[in-house]
Amino acid sequence: MLKFDILVIGSGGSGMQAALVASSQQGLNVALMSKVFPTRSATCCAQGGTNAVLKNADPTDTIEKHTFDTVKGSDFLGDQDAIEFFCEHMPETIRELDYYGVPFSRLESGTIAQRPFGGQSAPRTCYSSDKVGSVILHTLYEQCLKNGVNVLVEWLLLDLVVENDRVTGVVAMDMKTGEIQPIMAKTVVLATGGAGRMYWLRTTNPFASTGDGMAAALRAGVALKDPEFVQFHPTGLAGTGILMSEACRGEGGYLLNNQGERFMKRYAPEKLELATRDLVSQAIEIEIKEGRGFGEGMQAYVQLDLRHLGREKILERLPQIRDLAITFEGIDPIDQPIPIRPSCHYSMGGIDVTDYRTCGTDLKGLYATGECACLSIHGANRLGGNSTADVVLFGKVAGKAAAEAAKTLDFGSEQKVNELVRQWENSFSSTVARTDGPSVASIRDRLSETMWYNVGVFRKESEMKKATQIIDELIAEYKKCVVGDPSKIYNTAFVQYTELGNLLLVAKAVVMGALNRKESRGSHKREDYMNRDDENFLKHTIISKQGSQYKLSYRPVVVTKYQPVERKY
Amino acid sequence: MRKITFKIQRFDGQESWIQEYTLDHQPGKTILWALIQIKETLDPSLNFTASCRHAICGACAVRVNGQATLACETPLDKMLKRWESDTLILEPLQNFKLIRDLVVDWEPKAERLAELKPWLMPKDEFNKESGCRQSPEDFKKINKNSDCILCGCCASECNKLSGNNSDFLEPFVFTKAQRFVADSRDKNPVERLSAAINHGAWKCQHCQECVTKCPKGLSPAEDISNLRQEAIAKGLVEHSGVRHAKAFLDDIQKTGRLNEGMMAVKTDGLVKSIGNIPFALRLMSKGKLNPAHMFPKPIKEVAEVRAIILAVKESEKARNIANAKRSEAHTNPDIQRPKEAAK
C-alpha cells in the first residue's frame, strides 16, 4: 500500500509550494497527487499579476496600505489578523519566487515591475507580461523537478479517510490504470482549487475546477466557510467566458456601454474602471439589464476598449490578451473594442481553515490552501492579484505545518481505508454498468443554468429557493445518471461523473449560504436586501454536512484595526 | 444540413482502430468543441484531455490531419477550408506513449525534461531573501521562451524524434534549456550547454516542423541553433557537429559551394569516413553525389558570398559587445545608471 508522511493533493501553485516545502525537510516521505499533469493546473490561467509591497514602482507603498486595501476589498468580511499576516509575508515570498527563477517583468533598476490593479492604493501587482500564473506554475514545476518531488500524475481524489477524528489517508483512482487505490498519509494538504465550473460556460475557470477537495472535505465532516461568495470577473469574453485580465483595465482600458459612455463614472467616480471586481461586475449587469448593453439574453455584453492604449503598449503589455481576443472573438483589440461580460472567476469561500498560521482545519491532520481553502483573507470580494499571492504564500505555510505535524503522528489503520476502497470499487462497477438514465452533461447543464440565473451576480430569495429545489432534484437524479463508458483505463467519463457529484455538493452549500445571508456584501448582491448589514451579518457562514443534511452556523469576523466603514471607490 | 465527419484514432490500451463520427456543421467552432460534442452527444467513451480552453494549459494538443495543434484554439472552419474537405482525421500526438484514444503519457517526458536541468541556478550574488536583479533587456531575452506551455506539439512532429529518440530530446526541452542559458540570473549556462550537446543538440535536422507547430509562436529549432552557437562560444568545440558546421562555413567561404565528398572527412575524420565508403558509393550510384564535384571551382559571385559572411560576423561582434556592456551594468550595483541618477 502507498504510504506517505505528507500527501499534497492538487498541483497548482499552492500544492507545489506545499510539496516543495514539505519535501525540503529531511526524512519525510512526501507525495504530490494531481488529476492533471502539474502544468495544466488552474494557476496557469492567472494573467495579471501578484500583489506584494516591494515598493519598486511606488516607494510610498506600505504593508498597512496593502492590508487596508484587502480588508476594504473584502467588504470587511476578511479576518484582519489573517490579512495582516498575508500582507506582511508577501514581499519575501515574491523575492523567493524571483530566486526560484520566475521571469518577472523588470523596471530599469532591475527590480520586479509592478502595475496598478483594481481596488488598490498603489501599483503593487508584480507581473510577467500578462502570464504571471503560467510562469509561476512552470517555475514551481521546475523546482519540483530539481528537488525530485514524487508526483502521482493523473490520480483522482475520491474521498478522504477519517478515523478516530483525524485524517488517515485518501482513496484515489489511478486514472491510467483505473485502479482504485488506498493511500495512507499522516497528514493531507488539500490544494485542489475552486469550483467555478458549477457555472459551466459562464466561467473563466478551466474544466478541472470542480471543487473536488471542497466536496471531499464536506463528506469528511469538515465545514465550508462563506461558500456564497463567488467572484464574477467583470471581463470574461462574451462568447466563451474566457478571461481578459484585469491588467486590461490596470493598463488603462475603458468599459463602454452602447451609448459609447464610460459608465463606471456613475458607479465609482474616483476609481472608474479600477474599482473592485464585485462593483464593476454589478455595474456591467445593471447596464445590460437597463438596456445599455449590446445583444440580448445570454448573448448580451458591454465593451472593453483598449484602442487608445496604442499598438505598442498592447503588444508589449497585453500580447496574450490580444491573441485570445483574436482567436476566440475574432477581434483585434488594437482596432476594435472587445465584447465582454462578467464570468464566474473565483471561490472566495472554501474549506474552513481555522488557523491561518498553519492552514489547519478542524479535522486533525487535514490542511487546506489556495482557492479550495477559506482563511479568510478575501472575505466577500478578492482583490485582483491577491489569489496568486495567497497561493504561493499559504502553500508554504500549509506544507510546513503539515510536515511538522507528520513528525508527531503515526499512520492510521489499513482496515478503514481498504473498506472505503471496496465501497468505491463497488460504486464504480455499478455506476459504469448503468445504461438507462440522464447523462452527466444534461445534469451539469441544468446545474450551471440554475446557478447563473438564480445565484449569479444579482440574487433574490424567490430565485434562490427555486435553485435550492432544483439542486436537490439534480442530486437525486445524479444517483441514476449514466456514465456511458465501462472501461477502466483513463475513463474521463467517470472522472467527469465524479466531478459533477462534487460540484453538486458544493453548489448546494453556495445556495444555502446565499439564501440565508440577508444582506448585500461584496460579490453577494441581493436585490431584496440591497445594503450591507454589519449588525446581523458581519460574520462568516459555516456550512457542514451530516448525512444528506446541511447544517448552517456563523462565526464572528476577526477585526483588529479597521472598523467597518462604507465602501466607496 | 452540412455534415462534418471526424475519423478519430481510438485505442483501448491494447487495440487501435479508426472510428467515424458525424456532426452537424456549426460555424465559428473549434476542434475542442467538436471533441466535446462527440463525447457528450455521440460517444461518452471517447477520451481526450483539455482544461483551460484558451491555449495556456497545454492539455489538449492533438493531431488534425497529421499536424499537431491545440484543439481549443484551432478553428474548425479554418481546418475544413485548409484541407478543402468536410472530413478530418484526429489522432493522438506522435512520439508519446499512448494511454487511451487521444490521451498520451507525459510522465516519461518529465524525466527527459529533467535531463537538461531546466531550473534556475541563481548567481552567488543573489539570495532567497532579497531575490535577484535583471535588466528589462535581459528579461526580454527570456520572456519569449517562458511562453512554452509543454503542450508537446513540437515533439509530436519532430522528424528527428520519430526517426530515433535515443540520441535526441524533445524540442521543448531545448527551448527550456535555452531559456536558462539566456537568463542573466543564472550562474551555470555551461552545464546546460554541455548537457544540450550531449543530448543531441547537433542532431537536429532543421526541418522546422517544431517552429511551424508551436502554438505559442516559439522557435525550438532556432533555440537549438542558439545553444550550438553559445556552446562554441563557450569552448565546447570537441564535437563532430562543430567540425561539420565549420567545414560547411569553410567551403562556402572558399568556393561558394559545398564539397560534399570532403565534408564527411572533415566532420568524422579519415578513419571513420573510410567506413562510410560503401554508403558514398551507393549515393553515387543513385546520382546523389557527383565525384566530379570533389574539387569544386569557386562560383562567379564568391566575393559577394564572402562579403555577406564578413558582414554577419561584424554585426554579431557588435551585438556581443553591446550585450556584455549592458549585462555588466545591471549585475554590478556600483556602476551608476544614468537614468536612475537623473531621477
Residues of A in contact with B13 (CB under 8 A): 487, 489
Instruction: Write the pLDDT tens digit of every residue in B1-31.
Output: 999 999 999 999 999 999 999 999 998 899 9
A457 — alpha (psi -120 to 50), left (phi > 0) or beta?
alpha
In a mutagenesis test of the A interface, which of B57, B60, B181, B327 is the best target, namely the one with the most A β-carbons within 10 Å? B57
Give A159's strand partners. A171
Interface check B238 vs A, CB under 8 A = no
Q: How far apart are CA B165 and CA B167, in angstroms?
A: 6
The conformational region for residue A295 under phi > 0 = left, psi -120 to 50 = alpha, else beta, is: left
C-alpha cell at A47: 494573467
Domains in chain A, number? 2
Q: Which residues in chain B are closer than 8 Å to A485, comparing Cβ atoms? A: 44-45
Residue A68 belongs to some domain of the structure: no
- Please check the confidence at residue B274 and state whether its pLDDT lies above 90: no
Distance separating alpha carbons of residues A122 and A114, to the nearest angstrom: 9
Q: Name A31's bridge partners.
A: A7, A150
Give the span between the Cα atoms of B160 and B298, in whole angstroms: 33
What is the model's pLDDT at position A239? 84
- Calculate what percentage of chain A has a pLDDT beyond 70: 100
- Cα distance between residue A276 and residue B166, in whole Å: 54
Cα dihedral A407→A410→A414→A418 (10° resolution):
-40
- Tell me the shortest Cα–Cα distance from B145 to chain A, in angstroms: 10
Pairwise CB contact (< 8 Å): A99 & B57: no
Residue A298, pLDDT score: 75
Which helix or strand (DSSP H or E) is residue A3 part of?
strand A2-9
Stretch B134-152: mean pLDDT: 96
> Is B287 a residue whose pLDDT tops 90?
no
Q: Per the domain annotation, does A531 fall within a domain?
A: yes
Sheet-wide strand order for A338-347: A230-237, A338-347, A302-305, A254-256
Average pLDDT, stretch A97-103?
Answer: 98
Does residue A424 have a pLDDT over 70?
Answer: yes
CATH (domain of A500): 1.20.58.100
- Which of A11, A322, A328, A440 should one mutate to test binding to chain B, selecting the residue with the greatest count of B CBs within 10 A? A328
Whether residues A131 and B147 touch (CB distance < 8 A) is answered with yes
Judged by a CB distance cut-off of 8 A, whether residue A34 touches chain B is no
Task: Assign A98 to helix, strand or coil.
Answer: helix
**Pick from A44, A100, A106: which is nearest to B139 by CB?**
A106
The predicted-structure confidence for A110-130, as pLDDT tens digits, reads as follows 999 999 998 999 999 999 998
Q: Of A294, A315, A342, which residue constitutes the final position of a domain?
A: A342
CA B335 to chain centre: 38
Partner-chain residue, chosen from A45, A98, A128, that has the shortest CB–CB distance to B56: A45
Q: Which of B48, B52, B103, B173 has the most A C-beta neighbours within 10 Å, making it the best mutation to test the interface with A?
A: B52
Q: Do A95 and B103 touch (CB under 8 A)?
A: no
Facing residues of A368 across strands?
A190
Contact with chain B for residue A419, Cβ under 8 A:
no
* Summary mean pLDDT of chain A: 96
The runs of H, that is alpha helices, within chain B are: 31-37, 76-82, 107-114, 136-143, 153-157, 159-163, 171-181, 189-198, 209-213, 220-233, 240-255, 260-275, 277-285, 302-331, 338-342
In order of A60, A369, A492, the CA distances from A191 in angstroms are 35, 5, 21
- Name every chain B residue with its beta carbon within 8 A of the beta carbon of A212: none
- Within 8 A of A176 by CB-CB distance, chain B residues are 99, 105
Contact A411/B at CB under 8 A? no
CB-based contact, A201 to chain B, within 8 Å: no
Residue of B nearest to A496 (CA): B44
pLDDT at residue number B259 = 83
In single-letter form, the type of residue at position B294 comes to: M
The pTM of this model reads: 0.93
Side-chain-side CA neighbours of residue B1 (13 Å): 9
More confident residue, B295 or A440: A440
How confident is the model at residue A320, as a pLDDT? Answer: 85
pLDDT value at position B343?
A: 34
Examine the pLDDT at A374 and tell me if it is beyond 80: yes
Mean pLDDT of B266-288: 86
Using a CB-CB cut-off of 8 Å, the residues of chain A touching B40 are 439, 441
CA B280 to chain centre: 30
B14: left (phi over 0), alpha (psi -120 to 50) or beta: alpha
Show the cell assigned to A180.
482504485
Is residue A554 one of the residues assigned to a domain? no
Nearest Cβ partner for A145 among B54, B118, B133: B118
Tell me the helix, strand and coil percentages in chain B, rounded to 5.
Answer: 50, 15, 35
**Residue B183 and residue B122 in contact, taking contact as beta carbons nearer than 8 Å:** no
Q: Which residues in B lie closer than 8 A to residue A110 (C-beta atoms)?
A: 133-135, 330
Q: How does the average pLDDT of chain B come out, rounded?
A: 91
Separation CA A379–CA A374 (nearest Å): 8
A102 pLDDT band (50/70/90 cuts)? Answer: very high
DSSP string for A506-517 = HHHHHHHHHHH-
Chain-chain contact of A324 with B138 (C-beta, under 8 angstroms)? no
Dig out the grid coordinates for A45 from the structure: 490561467
User: Chain A: residue nearest B135 by CA?
Assistant: A110
Contacts of B203-212 with CB under 8 Å at 24 or more apart are: B203/B160, B203/B167, B203/B168, B203/B241, B204/B160, B204/B168, B204/B171, B204/B174, B205/B159, B205/B160, B207/B158, B207/B159, B207/B160, B209/B154, B209/B157, B209/B158, B209/B159, B210/B153, B210/B154, B210/B155, B210/B157, B210/B158, B210/B171, B212/B157
- Which chain A residues contact residue B100 at CB under 8 A? 487, 489-490
CB contact under 8 A, A40 and B49: yes
A249 classed as catalytic: no
B56 to A101: CB separation less than 8 angstroms, yes or no = no
Please tell me if residue B152 touches chain A, with a CB cutoff of 8 Å.
no
Chain B residues lying within 8 Å of A112, measured CB to CB: 131
What part of B 69-98 touches A (C-beta under 8 Å)?
Answer: 73, 75
Q: What is the ipTM of this complex?
A: 0.94
- Neighboring chain A residues of B132 at a CB cutoff of 8 Å: 98-99
State the CATH number of the domain containing residue A276: 3.90.700.10
Q: Which of B39, B106, B130 sits opposite A37 (nearest CB)?
A: B106
Which segment of A323-337, A360-374, B200-214, B310-324 scores lowest on mean pLDDT? B310-324
Q: Using an 8 Å Cβ cutoff, are A248 and A321 in contact? A: yes
Using only C-alpha atoms, chain A has a radius of gyration, in whole angstroms, of 22
Give domain status of residue A5, yes or no.
Answer: no
What are residue A225's DSSP bridge partners? A350, A542
Residue A482 lies in a domain: yes
**To probe the interface with A, which of B26, B112, B119 has the most A CB atoms within 10 Å?**
B119
Q: Is the pLDDT of residue B331 over 60?
A: no
Q: Closest approach of chain B CAs to the CA of A428, in angstroms?
A: 15
Whats the size of chain B, residue-wise?
343
For residue A289, which amino acid is it? K
The Cα of A487 is separated from the nearest Cα of chain B by a number of Å equal to 8
Q: Is B244 in CB contact (< 8 Å) with chain A?
A: no
Confirm whether A264 is domain-assigned: yes
A136, three cell numbers: 509561476
What is the count of residue pairs from A and B with beta carbons less than 8 Å apart?
180
CA distances from A279 to A242, A286, A567, A568, B329 (A): 20, 11, 10, 10, 45
- Residues of chain B numbered 254-283 and touching chain A (CB < 8 Å): none
Q: Is A101 close to B119, i.e. CB distance below 8 A? A: yes
Residue showing cell 566532420: B267
Q: Supply B43's cell numbers.
A: 460517444
Q: Is B84 in contact with B147 (CB distance < 8 Å)?
A: no
pLDDT in tens, A487-519: 999 999 999 999 999 999 999 999 999 999 999
A534, part of any domain = yes
Query: Of the candidates B17, B270, B117, B49, which has an alpha carbon nearest to the alpha carbon of residue A492?
Result: B49
List, as ranges, residues 106-135 from B with C-beta within 8 Å of A: 106-107, 110, 113-114, 117-120, 122, 126-135
Amino acid at A344: C
Question: Looking at the domain assignment, is residue A141 inside a domain?
Answer: no
Q: Do the Cβ atoms of A487 and B99 come within 8 Å?
A: no
Q: Do B110 and A101 touch (CB under 8 A)?
A: no
The domain in which residue A498 lies consists of 431-538
User: Residues B57-87: pLDDT tens digits?
Assistant: 999 999 999 999 999 999 999 999 999 999 9
So what's the pLDDT on residue B327?
60
Q: Is B44 on the interface with A (CB under 8 A)?
A: yes
Both A436 and A337 in one domain: the answer is: no
Q: Do A95 and B130 touch (CB under 8 A)?
A: yes
Helix axes B220-233, B189-198, angle to 10 degrees: 110
Given the residues A124, A277, A317, A521, select the one marked as catalytic. Answer: A277
Q: How confident is the model at residue B330 (pLDDT cuts 50, 70, 90)?
A: low
- Count CB neighbours of A20 within 10 A: 22
In order, the DSSP letters of A113-169 are: PEE--TT-SS--EE-STT-HHHHHHHHHHHHHHHTT-EEEETEEEEEEEEETTEEEE
Minimal CA separation from B242 to chain A, in Å:
30
Q: Please tell me whether residue B226 adopts helix, strand or coil conformation.
A: helix
Residue of B1 and A363 predicted with greater confidence: A363
